[in-house]
């Protein structure tokens, strides 16, 4: 649509403007929600010049973000990981009081799960964190029905995830730490806690994996994204990522940072 030297692919323009990650931008294009100079675009590969062309998403003209925002949110259970919800349920964006930039969640965290979630308007970083080839680790604490034995978490049945048993005791009540070492393997009367690390965020992957070994998830909490962790951030609270944290996400260094 534009062959000038300054023209770039449309999905990259949307990503850089903070509208969505590149993969999500491709879906917007396929759905016919993007137009360039009045023409609806539905095919991939179209190029445009963000400085010269009238680019719109859902009828709204594209503007470059004022500045990049990098937000770490502790999502509570019962909140939808999206910008808007047709059922009018509370969304993660509703929790970001005072954030005026158009940020969006990076990846997914299902309605019943809680834990760390990154929101940003930096499309390049969002693409890096979500594309499978980068193998960005995500770690979850899963409170299970029953306690899995060693045969269930020996690494063969749970590949490519890494699983470590944290507790053979019951899942903790709110504000009460669990007791380690309680219960016997495969005892259905007590509830084990496992730490699960995955590198590819397929839909409900952790829950389906635990169901497959006979121990459904009762409660799921994401505790780490790549090098980012924060045990002091309460459900519903958010903070800006530090410059150091953003740099580590961009460079792909996976060593853990100290919790704030």
The catalytic residues are: 110
Angstrom distance (rounded) from CA 180 to CA 100: 44
Nearest to 159 by CA among 225, 221, 213: 213
pLDDT on residue 78: 96
Per-residue pLDDT of the chain (260 residues; tens, 9 = 90+): 555 656 889 998 998 787 888 888 999 999 999 999 999 999 999 999 887 899 999 999 987 656 889 999 999 999 999 998 999 999 999 999 999 888 999 988 999 999 999 999 888 899 899 888 888 999 999 998 877 766 555 444 444 678 887 876 544 444 444 344 344 444 444 578 889 998 876 767 788 888 887 888 999 999 999 999 999 999 999 999 999 999 999 987 554 444 44
Q: Three-class SS of residue 66?
A: coil
Rounded distance between C-alpha atoms, residue 126 and residue 104, angstroms: 9
| pLDDT at residue 244 in the model | 95
- Nearest CA among 242, 204, 247 for reference residue 81: 204
pLDDT of residue 189: 46
Q: Which of 161, 134, 159 is nearest to 252 (CA)?
A: 134
Question: So what's the pLDDT on residue 62?
Answer: 87
């Amino acid at each position: 649509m534009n062959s000038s030297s300054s023209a770039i692919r449309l999905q990259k323009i949307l990503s850089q403007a903070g509208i969505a990650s590149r993969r999500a931008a491709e879906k917007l294009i396929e759905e016919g929600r993007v137009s360039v100079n009045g023409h609806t675009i539905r095919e991939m590969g179209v190029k445009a010049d963000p400085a010269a062309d009238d680019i719109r998403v859902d009828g709204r003209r594209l503007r470059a973000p004022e500045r990049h925002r990098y937000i770490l949110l502790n999502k509570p259970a019962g909140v939808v990981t999206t910008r808007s919800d047709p059922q009018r349920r509370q969304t993660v964006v509703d929790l970001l009081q005072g954030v005026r930039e158009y940020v969006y969640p990076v990846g997914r965290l299902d309605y019943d799960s809680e834990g760390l979630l990154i929101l940003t308007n930096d499309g390049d970083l969002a693409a890096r964190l979500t594309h499978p080839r980068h193998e960005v680790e995500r770690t979850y604490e899963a409170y299970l029905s029953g306690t899995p034995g060693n045969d269930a978490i020996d690494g063969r049945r749970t590949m490519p995830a890494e699983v470590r048993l944290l507790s053979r005791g019951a899942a903790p009540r709110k504000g009460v730490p669990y007791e380690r070492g309680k219960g016997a393997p495969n005892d259905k009367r007590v509830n084990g806690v496992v730490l699960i690390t995955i590198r590819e965020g397929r839909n409900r992957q952790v829950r389906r994996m635990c169901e497959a070994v006979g121990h459904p998830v009762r409660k799921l909490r994401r505790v780490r994204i790549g090098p980012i962790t924060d045990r002091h951030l309460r459900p519903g609270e958010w903070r800006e990522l530090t410059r150091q944290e953003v740099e580590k996400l961009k460079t792909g260094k996976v060593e853990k940072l100290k919790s704030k």
